[in-house]
Each structure stands twice: as structure tokens, then as C-alpha cells.
Homo-oligomer: A and B are copies of this chain.
Amino acid sequence: MFLLLSATSAHRSYKKLDEYLENDDIESFRHELLRLHQYNQMKWFEQLQNPSLRKNVYKALSAREFAAIFQKLKLKDQVDKVQELEDTYQADVFSAMSTNRLADLFNRLPEHVIHQSIDQMDAEQARTVMQLMKHEEGTAGALMTTEFVSLNKDLTIEQAIEKLRAFADLAETIYYVYVENDQHQLVGVVSLRHLLAGESTKTLEEIMKEEVIQVVQDKDQEDIAKLTKDYDLIAIPVVDDDRHLLGIIMVDEIMDVVEEEATEDLGEFAASRGALGIEISALLAAKKRAPWIMGLLLIGMVTAQIISFFENTLQEVVMLSAFIPLVMGAAGNTGTQTLAVIVRSISNDEVKKGVWKIILRELSAGFMIGICSAAVLLIVIPIFYNGNWPLAFIVGGSVFLALGFATFIGCVIPIIINKLNIDQAVASGPFITTLNDMVSIVIYFLIATSFLQYLQ
């Protein structure tokens, strides 16, 4: 099958699969399903609504074949479907799953299901899964899989290739062979390509690279993603404090991490931390987002108080209130631009290259944008407001100053917060916008009050 038009040809297969299954034509069903890529197998299974048809799938597939589909499902779907599996089939599916997927699933299943399954599992596998379950989410330990290949340094290339052939089906990757010493410590790595290119009588120790890019089990996933990207790795080994190899993290796991971290950045930016996914319910989304909005409302009350403080000025020239949103908006938007630059550079680690350079660049940019903005206002306001030049100067000057402060706030506060290792969420967009609101309002009314006589 040619997958250039993957969507349509896959959908054609899905239709056939539905038909075969409904007509109980198990042989055609198996033939059609198993030639599909596992991702497409999962996609088809995912949309299967009828529980009795799903039962037919379990009957048609071996536990191993179904495990390959099952472990690609979203965790939520896995939890739902687990109950549909008969006890022995369930145990066999679990045994055929990769240990880290199984650990993730177990972390979401009730105690008694886990205990029952563990009892039926191979003791070694059960032990590994229990170990994996202990790792905190977002660390190397939670991302790693234990299906890796490690060989003793004294094996020859020929022996190593022989072993690899045997492992090829079981391991997550055989493209890196990790080399251990007699104490089972990680001492080197040989890529499969170098293994194949090497003379067959040499030992692994002779051809291995001693510089192994590796991480300890509690390493944060963001750092792991950066290492993988920088060093162009397909997999990264995870070790304990004594350099014993515990597992490997595959690049496809890391792609998901990169995606996840980007979503997190945006979420913090938009005061929607943990609420960006569309799969969560409206109630849960509201629960996560409402506190931000309500908190910001309370801060907005402070802004209201500040404006009330200038009630006399407003009483004299009520038109001044028309420009409150404009001044605040300009400051807010500029602060957001700067914040986006800083958030991104913190998350890229670019910020380490030179904090002062970034601050200086942002302030210069803010200064230039301020001048342009003030110029625009000096032209536009007299046109719309019958040649009211004093008003144009008050608003234009306020915007210029407010932009300067906004750039400074949007730039310096997240950097300070990052330095202090306080949770980045505190520095999220709306917080800085609100701070900018207050500062710009004060600037505006101070200037307006000072030059009030020219307005009347």
C-alpha cells in the first residue's frame, strides 16, 4: 500500500476493517489490520465505539498483537478498555507491553487490579514495573524504557552482532549498544553502524565511544530534550548514581516532551497552566482558569482604586478617561512581546548566554517602539480631537514612558523569577500585564494632572 495519500488510503482500510469485523471474517480482518502501521491500527481501534465489536478484536488478535495497539492508545482510553479484557488475556497483554507504558498505566489503575496483574506476571518484569512506577513524572526515570541492549566490553564485534540479532525483536532500539564493564557500569556506547563497519574480531571496548551522553534518573525532562536535540541522539541512556544503566529514553518520547513543554510555555503565558488540552472537561478547565481570572480581578480592583484616586482630575476633563484603555493597551502589548522573547529564551536556555545583552536589546527595542508610537499619536489625536495638541502631548508622552516601563517589567521580572527558581507561572502574561496596567495608569494620570491647565 502506498501511503502518499495516507489519510485517504488509511480510511479505506478502516472501512474494510469495520466490514470484516461486522461480518466476522476474522482472516481478512487480521490480514488487513496487521499490514497497517501500528499507529494506524491504534487510530482505527480508537474510533471503534461498539463494545461487542471490540470484543471481537480481542478474540481475533493475540495478546502480543493487541498489546502493540493498546500501548499506543491515550492513557485515558487504556484505563477504559482494561476492564473489557478477560483476566488471562489482560495479563498476557500487560506482559507484552513495554515496561514504561505499563508503569504509566498502573499508576492510573486501582490497587486491586495492579496486584492481581502483578501476581500473574513474570517476576522480573513485575519488579521492573514496580521500580518504574516510583519515578516522579517529568523525570528521566519516568520516561525511560528498560528494553535496551547492553553488552560486556570484552565481547567481539562478531559476538555482539550475534547477540543483537537475537535481541532485535525485543529491544526498543538496537541502534545503540551500550557497553558495560564487569561491574555493570556504563563505560561506552557503540552505534550499530559502527558495529557493522568495524572488523569483526575487535572487541567492543576497542571501538566504543567513551563519551556517552547520559542522564541520571531524576533529571528533568526539559534538560533531557535539550541534550537530545543538541547531540542529535536517537536514544539517551539513564543511569543511577553508581553509573549502572537503568534504561533508555527514545527520541519519540522526547518529541512528545518538546511538544508538551511548548504547550506549557504557552499555557503559562496565557494563565491557563495545565488547562490547554482540549480533552479536559469544561468544569475542569474552568476550575483551573477561574482562579487566575478572579485573582486578576482583585488586582483590577487596585487599578480601579488608583483611577478613583485621580477622580478630581477626571472630573475636570472627563475626556481623559477615553485614553485609559489606549495607554494601558500599548503598555500591555509591548510587555507581552518582551515577555514572549524572555519566556522563550529561558526555556531554550539561550538566556544563559548573556542576560544583560538581552535586557539591553529589549530596552533599546522598547525605546524605538515608544518613539514611533508617540509620533503616531501626535499626528492622529489632533486630527480626531479638533487640534487638541495638549491632549496629544499628554497621551503621546504617557505612552512613550509607559512603553519603556512595560519593556523593563516584561524583561526583568521573569528573569528575576527564573533566577530565584520561583515557579515560572507567577511571571505569566496576565500578571505582568496587570502590573503594567497599574504603572501606565499612574504615569498617565500624573502627567495629565501636571498639565491639566493646558487642557481646559
Contacts and interface: CB of A to CB of B under 8 A. Distances in A.
Nearest to A294: B376
A260 B255 CA distance: 13
B269 A210 contact: no
Contacts of A266: 262, 265-266, 269, 340, 343-344
Interface in A335-356: 336-337, 339-341, 343-345, 348, 350-351, 353
A441 interface: yes
A422 interface: no
Residue from A193, A303, A434 with most neighbouring chain B CB atoms (10 Å): A193
Nearest to A437: B325
Given A228-B255, A365-B289, A197 B214 contact: no
A257 to B, nearest CB: 10
B270 A336 contact: yes
Contacts of A286: 364-365, 368-369, 372
A377 interface: yes
Nearest to A385: B308
A35 interface: yes
Interface stretch (A20-28, A112-120, A161-169): A161-169
Contact of A294 (B1, B373, B430): B373
A343 B283 CA distance: 20
Interface in A246-292: 250-252, 254-256, 258-259, 262-263, 265-267, 269-272, 275-276, 278, 281-283, 285-286, 289-290, 292
A169 B192 contact: no
A451 interface: no
* Identical chains in the assembly: 2
B275 A341 contact: yes
A243 B161 CA distance: 34
A173 to B, nearest CB: 8
A454 interface: no
A94 to B, nearest CB: 21
Given A256-B229, A296-B329, A283 B368 contact: yes
A334 interface: yes
A348 B258 CA distance: 13
Interface size of A as a range? 35 or more
A197 B169 contact: yes
A262 B258 contact: yes
Contacts of A263: 262, 344
Nearest to A344: B276
A272 B365 CA distance: 12
Interface in A297-336: 297-298, 300-301, 303-305, 307-308, 311, 314-315, 318-319, 321-326, 328-330, 332-334, 336
Contacts of A372: 286, 290, 293-294
B211 A365 contact: no
B293 A213 contact: no
A174 interface: yes
A36 interface: yes
Interface string A356-373: 011011101100110011
B285 A365 contact: yes
Contacts of A272: 337, 340-341
A196 B168 contact: yes
A6 interface: yes
B271 A255 contact: no
Nearest to A283: B368
Interface string A71-99: 00000000000000000000000000000
A234 interface: yes
B212 A3 contact: yes
22 contacts: A2-B243, A4-B216, A4-B239, A36-B211, A161-B196, A168-B193, A232-B250, A281-B361, A282-B362, A285-B365, A286-B364, A293-B333, A293-B403, A297-B376, A303-B326, A304-B326, A307-B322, A318-B318, A321-B324, A329-B434, A333-B430, A336-B430
